[in-house]
């Protein structure tokens, strides 16, 4: 006979305010029922009361680990609605900043995953040291350390400073060595291996049926990445290749993000070497801007946690309706499928491998 236990809504391993109703027999999980909504702020409705470019600061709060990603996705939807073209140099700048943001996010994932398993706080401190260096670069490029609000119609608020390329290359050289050290440290650790390999398996068929996205999908053998499937900005010029593995377990989800950091490092290097001269600055914010040209637009972006879709119905000066398909919301509901039959102690490593941000789930 199963017993129901409640985990959360306040728990150090739920990555926010999340309540899990877990049915167990002994220490085996029979079912998991997520209860969400504790962070719901009605962002999709809120933007209907604001002019187009008053809303990016709200968007960044949807993912406080990778805030620039949501900012860019929303601004891209506004640009599509208004018919605004992004300047060529600004496309490179956006790709560079978004890939640095992805590296910072994946480093956070790596530290949090180890911390969730309760036995590698050393790794948590190591990755946060490197993440701070990424934030230093983003602060240098945008003037802000966490919430950047650096996207403007047709470009960015600030162009890259003169010494940015040298500082960025120096960091990437350091990061490539550190990733190798992380791999050696973790993949020879018997506790890490036992709690990741063969745990929380999600097959390719189940991943597609559940609508899972991002690194979680690619770890199950489905090589779908918006940056290659529907290239935007200059990803098509940089020879981007989606990373995929086959096992679909915690270890594969960890490895996909390690490989994605290496790919992001390569993309940033190539973008810096090819970035053209010119102007990258976007239009200044005006409460009254150009009238919308396209009534309905859908924009898809590859965020660090997966595909984000912005569906916007436009009015002349503000969104009439905005609907967000957030990657974390979709991925959370694969958790019951992945957790059934696993040990209760492994629930948190499975959830950690999904890299959830509850603000992204609830919106």
* CB-based contact 356:41 (threshold 8 Å): no
The gap between the terminal CA atoms of the chain, to the nearest Å, is: 37
**CA–CA distance, 282 with 149 (Å, rounded to integer):** 12
What pLDDT score does 287 carry? 56
What pLDDT score does 104 carry? 93
pLDDT for 294 beyond 80: no
**Residue partners of 279: CB distance under 8 A and separation at least 6:** 87, 89, 155, 159
**CA–CA distance, 309 with 299 (Å, rounded to integer):** 6
Give mean pLDDT, residues 20-27. Answer: 88
Percent of all residues in the chain with a pLDDT value above 70, rounded to a whole number? 96
pLDDT for 198 beyond 80: yes
What pLDDT score does 295 carry? 82
Higher pLDDT, 71 or 16: 71
pLDDT for 61 beyond 90: no
Of 27-31, 91-95, 314-318, 342-346, give the lowest mean pLDDT range.
Answer: 314-318
Give mean pLDDT, residues 247-272. Answer: 92
3-state SS, residue 212? coil
**Residue partners of 37: CB distance under 8 A and separation at least 6:** 362
Of 137-141, 153-157, 283-287, give the lowest mean pLDDT range.
Answer: 283-287
pLDDT for 288 beyond 60: no
Sign of CA dihedral 97, 356, 302, 182: positive
- Strands (E) across the chain are located at 3-7, 19-25, 28-35, 151-152, 155-156, 296-303, 306-314, 319-325
**Residue partners of 111: CB distance under 8 A and separation at least 6:** 123, 124, 125, 126, 127, 128, 131
Domain boundaries, the chain: 43-362
CATH number of 43-362: 1.10.645.10
């Amino acid at each position: 006979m199963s017993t129901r236990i409640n985990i959360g809504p306040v728990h150090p391993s739920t990555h926010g305010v999340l309540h899990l109703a877990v049915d167990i027999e002994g220490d085996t999980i029979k079912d998991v029922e997520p209860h969400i909504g504790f962070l719901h702020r009605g962002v999709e409705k809120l933007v209907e009361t604001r002019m187009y470019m008053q809303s990016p600061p709200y968007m960044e709060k949807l993912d406080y680990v990778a805030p620039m990603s949501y900012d860019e996705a929303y601004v891209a939807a506004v640009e599509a609605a208004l018919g605004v073209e992004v300047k060529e140099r600004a496309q490179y700048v956006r790709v560079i900043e978004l890939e640095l943001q992805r590296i910072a996010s994946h480093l956070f994932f790596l530290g949090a995953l180890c911390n969730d398993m309760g036995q590698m706080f050393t790794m948590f401190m190591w990755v946060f040291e490197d993440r701070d260096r990424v934030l230093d670069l983003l602060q240098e490029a945008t003037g802000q350390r966490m919430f950047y609000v650096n996207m403007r119609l047709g470009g960015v608020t600030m162009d890259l400073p003169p010494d940015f390329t040298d500082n960025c290359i120096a960091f990437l050289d350091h990061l490539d060595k550190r990733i190798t050290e992380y791999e050696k440290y973790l993949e020879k650790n018997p506790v890490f291996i036992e709690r990741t390999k063969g745990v929380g398996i999600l097959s390719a068929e189940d991943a597609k049926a559940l609508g899972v996205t991002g690194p979680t999908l690619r770890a199950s053998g489905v090589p779908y990445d918006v940056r290659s499937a529907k290239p935007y900005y200059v990803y098509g010029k940089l020879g981007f290749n989606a990373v995929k593995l086959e096992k679909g377990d915690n270890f594969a989800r960890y490895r996909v993000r390690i490989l994605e950091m290496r790919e992001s490092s390569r993309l940033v290097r190539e973008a810096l070497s090819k970035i053209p001269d010119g102007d990258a600055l976007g239009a200044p914010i005006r409460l009254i801007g150009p009238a919308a040209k396209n009534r309905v637009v859908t924009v898809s972006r590859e965020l660090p946690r997966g595909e984000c879709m912005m569906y916007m119905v436009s009015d002349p000066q503000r969104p009439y309706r905005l609907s967000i398909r957030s990657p974390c919301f979709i991925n959370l509901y694969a958790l019951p499928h992945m957790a059934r039959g696993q040990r209760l102690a492994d629930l948190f490593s499975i959830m950690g491998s999904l890299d959830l941000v509850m603000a992204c789930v609830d919106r």
